[in-house]
Every structure is written in C-alpha cells, then in structure tokens.
Amino acid sequence: MTAPDHYATLGVARNASAREIRAARKRLLGIHHPDVSEQGGEEARKQTIAILLAGEVLLDAKTREAYDGELARAEGREAFEERARSGSRARERAGRDLACPACGKLNVRTQRDYCIFCGAGIGANPRPITLRPLRRAPERSDPTGVHAGCGCLFGLFVGATLMAHFAGSLAQAIAFICAPAIIFAVLAHRHRDGFWNRIVGIFRPND
C-alpha cells in the first residue's frame, strides 16, 4: 500500500506555504466536516480525519521533512520494492524506525506520537488524530447593518438636541452631532436588541 499524498488531500502544491496549507485545511473542513457535511456518516468522518492528519503533518516543519522523504521513497519504490524489503537497507531502517500498529508503515523516530500515514497513535504516549468539533467563525453582531444605521439616526437626534441647547460654536455643534451618532451606531451594532431594550428602559423604567 502506497503512502497517502497529504498534498493531494488538501489540494496544494508540494512547495505550498504554511499559510496556503492552513487556508486549504479550513476550506475543506468547512465542506467535509460531519457538523456541516450533507452526506455525514462514516465517509465524512474519514475525510475529515484525513484532512486533519494532512494539516498536522504538513504544518510541522520536522514532520513535513520526514514525510517528504517517505513520500519520495514510496514513489520510487515500485521498481525495487521486493529487493528493498528483504535487503540490508530495509533491515537498517527497521532498526531505527517505528512501525505503526494500525497500518504497519515505518515512521522515522521523532518526538511525534502519531503515524504520519494513517493518523493512528504510536510510541510510548500515543496520540491518534481524532475528530474534533468544527470551529465556526463568530457570528457578526449586525450582519445587515440595520441596527448600526438605526443607532446612528438615534445618535443624530440626540446630538441635534444637545447642539440646540449647548453648542456655542461650529466646532461644538459638529462634535455634538457626530459623537452621539458614532457611539450609538457602535453600541447598536454590537448589542442589537439589548441596546434598544436599554434605551426603552430609560424612558419607560417601570415596564
């Protein structure tokens, strides 16, 4: 069985940067993760673990270097695989590498505690690659901007009232108009209904 191509799993080039790898992993998890995938079930779980494993391997410099070496050997092994399996080179590597109990492939001995080929736990303290909840981007407070717009209008009204009573110069008038509009727009954008409930509570404290 040949080594899995983690680059193909993420759809990135062999020389892809860490930023490109993270972006590809995030995009694919948003498609295949069981939390969002329409197909769901075992297939979605397998695809997600493959994506997580690919990211884990390729985002660690030492692990990626070891994987690239294994991948290169795997791609050039077909012509002499039988000879290498029984030859001295294979015996030498078997003495210093660690075999994965799940897939049987040899992993270069490092501080790694998972198999770079299948994600199973290896070593004295195995840590297999497992399915994790999908991290969702935080929902925007006011995606349509309606609350911010209404807050700005309310601020303009408050500012105009203050300007009429206290403004003595053009600079003060502009400050009285702009400051409340900006402040109320930001507060309404962040707190939405909570902001308006507080405003209503000011004028109708007994409700």
Q: Supply the pLDDT for residue 113.
A: 81
pTM here? 0.55
14 and 68 part of one domain: yes
Residue 114 within any structural domain of the chain: no
Residue 168 within any structural domain of the chain: yes
Residue 121 within any structural domain of the chain: no
Residue 130 within any structural domain of the chain: no
Residue 124 within any structural domain of the chain: no
Residue 11 within any structural domain of the chain: yes
Measured from the Cβ of residue 52, the count of other Cβ atoms closer than 10 Å reads 20
Residue 152 within any structural domain of the chain: yes
Phi, psi for residue 188 in degrees, rounded to 5:
-65, -35
Count of residues in the chain: 207
Residue 51 within any structural domain of the chain: yes
167 and 91 part of one domain: no
Phi, psi for residue 168 in degrees, rounded to 5:
-115, -10
| H helical segments located in 87-191 | 88-96, 146-166, 170-191
Q: Whole-angstrom Cα distance, residue 173 to residue 111?
A: 66
How many domains, in total, are found in the chain? 2
100 and 193 part of one domain: no
Residues forming beta bridges with residue 108, ordered by sequence position: 97
Q: Supply the pLDDT for residue 96.
A: 60
Give me the CATH number covering residue 34: 1.10.287.110
151 and 104 part of one domain: no
Domain coverage including residue 165: 146-203
The alpha carbon torsion through 15, 21, 27, 29 (nearest 10 deg) reads 120
Side-chain-side CA neighbours of residue 6 (13 Å): 31
| pLDDT < 50 regions, the chain | 1, 78-92, 94, 207
179 and 93 part of one domain: no
